[in-house]
Structure 1
């Protein structure tokens, strides 16, 4: 049969996927190994997969053209989905979880803070924070928990560059955000079947964390209201000004601040954790990073213009984010029926673009499991894959607003750390990924610090 009738019938066809008898295995993977759930099914069934678990069906999209369709070409049909919907209990209607006109207004309010010229002016602040971290590590005796150090760094940078505020006194922030991620993912994988009033340890931790985050956000707003900055360009100043213009509530400001605090530190800290792990696994990469940092920086702090000179360091950051994208899952909910890759996707379906699997797609990446910063060598632009095969910051209208600040921070950290230090994992320590709202190292990353000669002099 040919013609319109046949085309309509083809468009109603459901994508391939695991059979119903695989439900128990899928449930186990959903709870214990979400990366394997996505990767195994993409490998087995192709670039569009329907994964049915109980009453829910999830559509996995794993091709650059199809990712472009969902995230950019037909973005209006796809609102934020699984995981982010559950995170709304703590984050409220911030930039990460909101949709429609609410999201557009929020984006317009915050966008100027991330203008390239303003971010470039923050380079000295970032470099000074990284320098303090490297000096502290160089003087450290014994193992350090490197993820804890990176979280402290990224929160400090976020406070000074985006909020014009000190976050050093809020030591609970990192733990509170962990509890938020744990609860959001728990609700997502249990389909919110466990009532929120059930006094599970996880849910009790979440309530305490949510109250802590709200308290911190309120304190930051109160401090700025008490000490306003004339013509302030930071997020706090813009939120307060926006509130006076359109009647936005204190709750709105709180939601935006909590969202910014999470998104602004978690992704960069996770990327740096994976970077130090991979550099330790590939010492030749560490030596090349060291040589480039010595050649470009000498003994001085990096400047924004150095991003064009630290080409290998930038390539390392990009390759780290290929293998371990900080945002490993881009979840959406279809608002109306759609066709993806020739398959029917009904309204209300959970549709997920998975950078973790897309970045390992053998059709677009040679030897995809291998760590190879040379893939991003600017001297070989023809070696780069199609635009939508690499999505560390998402794509389309919801492309990550803070990508330039995050990359600058990561590059400065790797360059200065490689110049002054060697970081080594504890012997026998197993590194495993944990796929929450971000892709982090499970259980932390203890490392020993070995200062190079120049770093020892600086620390002294």
Structure 2
């Protein structure tokens, strides 16, 4: 977009419409939307400022990139905004679950699962999370001196293990195809997003055929989980039991089953993908910043010794938490929050028409130079307790904001802190020479093509010390 001349803001209904590229730039913008979404948003914000209108075909996307804008859209006037571009189209793929739903159905679903994420319940599950982290450490140790291992894949296995045991009381390891299956679902979901749902699913495109196979396999897995729970009931307080009980009250059994499937698919995807992505980026950044890695190791040894972490250690592992917060600043697990304006609104002095697609991007907001000095540098010290006071509250929104704030954020943070501390205490993960870690903006901000790294055991951490 460097050759595009900035047009003046136009006036509509008494308020200015945001500036942005001219209409003839639409085909180029669409190519960037397909090939490099992060560059499209970063370039638009850098060239046009905190409010940008991107016109791509029949769509005008309003990108707002200021903390006050995020506060207004996501919190203060959230009732005027429902789920927007991409997620509306992804409903064809994911169904009508927590991620894509809205209105009273969404509120009822949210209320039903909220108790599962209360701190008291999480505190009772710390041993499960620590056990899964210990299994991860053991798997990685087995690769020491034996060539590279895909760390991103290992993080996915870890987070699926935690998700299954803490929320579903089920062994997701028994469903080995689940991670691969989600690849087909994600690819289709992103295709739906960038094409705005304009390509019929019945067309026999290779992508569509792969998705259909993935959807059938996911339905098989979900049905197996439901059948297993029916055969072996629990005390009824796990997520799977709560969802079954909630949908069992529906008048239409077939619709109830489809809603239950959609909820489980959404939970399985969102519940593991974001934390796995965050941990992958964390180990990549630690490899590039040995000073941070050494300080992280020292804190883990000092706080934990040779024991596994417990819930009470979360407030003691302060530097570990700072590192993760900085990782999520640079690589927020959810890189775009999309909304549609129900009625016309005014955001930051700019008019937003009814029906307009609105985008808040944590990726660009977290790199805003006015709020983050040396924004592209990895500096965990930004999140020291005494460094937070002067920062705008909505300059940092890795878990979203307002009523749709991520319900699983506390579980995800406990999981990430435990894993980062335990791995850093025992092992060193080193990236392959010459290989770059490239961000891929899918449903989460993951590392494109995986993250191969070699594993070495830290001196003094051999088996006799474990």
Structures share fold, TM-score greater than 0.5: yes
> 2:456 aligned with 1:450, yes or no?
yes
- CA pair 195-339 structure 1, distance change in 2 beyond 3 A: same
**Separation in structure 2 between the aligned mates of residue 173 and residue 204 of structure 1, nearest angstrom:** 17
Aligned to 1:148: 153
After TM superposition, the structure 1 stretch with the greater mean CA deviation from structure 2, 83-92 or 95-104, is: 83-92
CA offsets per residue over residues 412-438 of structure 1, 9 Å max, x none? 111011100000001111111100111
Q: In structure 2, which of residues 165, 184, 206 is the aligned counterpart of residue 179 of structure 1?
A: 184
- CA pair 458-194 structure 1, distance change in 2 beyond 3 A: farther
Q: In structure 1, which of residues 16, 21, 27 is the aligned counterpart of residue 19 of structure 2?
A: 16
> 2:244 aligned with 1:237, yes or no?
no
**Separation in structure 1 between the aligned mates of residue 460 and residue 163 of structure 2, nearest angstrom:** 28
State the 1:458 CA deviation. 5.7
CA offsets per residue over residues 312-352 of structure 1, 9 Å max, x none? 00000000000000000001111111111111111111100
Q: Equivalent residue of 1:331, what SS?
A: strand
State the 1:375 CA deviation. 0.3
State the 1:152 CA deviation. 0.3
Q: Is the 8 A contact 1:334 1:349 kept in 2?
A: yes
**Separation in structure 2 between the aligned mates of residue 376 and residue 167 of structure 1, nearest angstrom:** 35
- CA pair 320-458 structure 1, distance change in 2 beyond 3 A: farther
> 2:208 aligned with 1:188, yes or no?
no
Q: In structure 2, which of residues 109, 113, 118 is the aligned counterpart of residue 115 of structure 1?
A: 118
After TM superposition, the structure 1 stretch with the greater mean CA deviation from structure 2, 166-175 or 305-314, is: 166-175
Q: Equivalent residue of 2:54, what SS?
A: strand
Aligned length: 451
Q: Is the 8 A contact 1:135 1:455 kept in 2?
A: no
Q: In structure 1, which of residues 180, 184, 202 is the aligned counterpart of residue 207 of structure 2?
A: 202
**Separation in structure 1 between the aligned mates of residue 346 and residue 324 of structure 2, nearest angstrom:** 35
State the 1:195 CA deviation. 2.2
Q: In structure 1, which of residues 62, 69, 73 is the aligned counterpart of residue 72 of structure 2?
A: 69
Q: Is the 8 A contact 2:93 2:188 kept in 1?
A: no
Q: Equivalent residue of 2:440, what SS?
A: strand
State the 1:239 CA deviation. 1.3
Q: Which consecutive unaligned segments of at least 5 residues does structure 2 have? A: 1-10
- CA pair 195-302 structure 1, distance change in 2 beyond 3 A: same
**Separation in structure 2 between the aligned mates of residue 11 and residue 93 of structure 1, nearest angstrom:** 37
**Separation in structure 1 between the aligned mates of residue 12 and residue 162 of structure 2, nearest angstrom:** 54
Q: In structure 1, which of residues 402, 411, 424 is the aligned counterpart of residue 408 of structure 2?
A: 402
Question: How large is the Cα RMSD of the aligned pairs?
Answer: 1.5
Aligned to 1:362: 369
* TM superposition score normalised by structure 2: 0.94
Aligned to 1:349: 356
**Separation in structure 1 between the aligned mates of residue 257 and residue 75 of structure 2, nearest angstrom:** 32
